């Protein structure tokens, strides 16, 4: 609901990190017919999964729609264009929003490498295995100031795009971009977009319109 007629696409908001963790649906539906015990069982399983992920860098969330959500802050933002490097990512386009202090460090690196660096900046366990082979010393890691937006590297995966809201420009640019710029974060593969930023517990953003794509 809220999508302009003819617009069919899915945005999957995620912090694209490649460590053990879990994915939470933004539209979990519990069927009452299974009764109260099933609800309690699902809640218990969820808590156990969350506990297993404490300290791990994965806290993804999933949302579907075209930006019909009313919460969040609308803003213009530069986003990095990347090809999906995860299973089932075919026919998808990934847009990455990097915290400003992280940009210079991540240019020339893959999304996975950048995600590891981002995690190791934020973690309370910098000596963990995720931070052992960053290709950069801990002393060279950038500092994240309080109140920074976004608070971490976050991304959306776009699928089933039509040609409205500037997505025609995005698709043309994606097809013409060099393979290297789509596999490693590059200033040559960026777009300007109007987004809705949600700064809540599951930080993320929704793309409302692609404004420019070189």
The pTM of this model reads 0.70
The pLDDT profile of the chain, 214 residues, written as one tens digit per residue, is: 444 433 344 454 444 444 333 333 333 333 333 344 433 444 444 433 333 333 334 333 333 334 444 579 999 999 999 999 887 788 899 999 999 999 999 999 999 999 999 999 999 888 888 898 899 988 899 999 999 999 999 999 999 999 999 999 999 999 999 999 999 999 999 999 999 999 988 899 999 999 999 8
Domain ranges of the chain: 10-212
What are 40's two structure tokens? 């309690």
Residue 89 has a pLDDT of 80
Residue 75 has a pLDDT of 97
What are 72's two structure tokens? 């969040």
Total count of residues recorded for the chain: 214
Q: For residue 167, give the nearest of 194, 204, 186 by alpha carbon.
A: 194
Residue 70 has a pLDDT of 55
Residue 92 has a pLDDT of 93
The Cα 93–Cα 214 span in angstroms is 16
Quickly list DSSP for the chain: --PPTT---EEEEE----SS---EETT----GGGHHHHHHHHHHHHHHHHHHTTTSS---EE--SSS----SEEEEEEEEEE---STT-TTEEEEEE--HHHHHHHTTS-HHHHHHHHHHHH-S-TTSGGGS--SS-GGGSPP--TT-SSSS-EEEEEES--STTTHHHHHHHHHHS-HHHHHS--TTSEEEEEEEEE-SSS-EEEEEEEEE--
């Amino acid at each position: 609901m809220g999508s302009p007629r003819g617009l069919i696409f899915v945005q999957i908001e995620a912090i694209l990190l490649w460590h053990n963790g879990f994915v939470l649906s933004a539209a979990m539906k519990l069927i009452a017919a299974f009764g109260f015990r099933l609800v309690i069982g699902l809640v218990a399983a969820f808590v156990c999964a969350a506990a297993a992920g404490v300290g791990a860098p994965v806290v993804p969330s999933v949302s579907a729609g075209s930006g019909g959500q009313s919460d969040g802050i609308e803003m213009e933002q530069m986003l990095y264009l990347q090809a999906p490097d995860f299973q089932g990512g075919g026919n998808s386009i990934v847009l990455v929003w990097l915290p400003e202090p992280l940009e210079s460090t991540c240019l020339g690196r893959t999304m996975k490498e950048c995600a590891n660096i981002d995690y190791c900046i934020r973690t309370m366990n910098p000596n963990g295995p995720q931070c052992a082979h960053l290709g950069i010393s801990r002393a060279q890691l950038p500092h994240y100031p309080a109140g920074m937006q976004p608070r971490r590297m976050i991304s959306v995966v776009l699928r089933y795009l039509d040609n409205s809201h500037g997505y025609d420009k995005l698709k043309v640019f994606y097809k013409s971009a060099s393979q290297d710029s789509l596999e490693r974060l590059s200033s040559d593969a960026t777009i300007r977009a109007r987004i809705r930023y949600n700064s809540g517990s599951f930080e993320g953003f929704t793309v409302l319109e692609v404004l420019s794509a070189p």
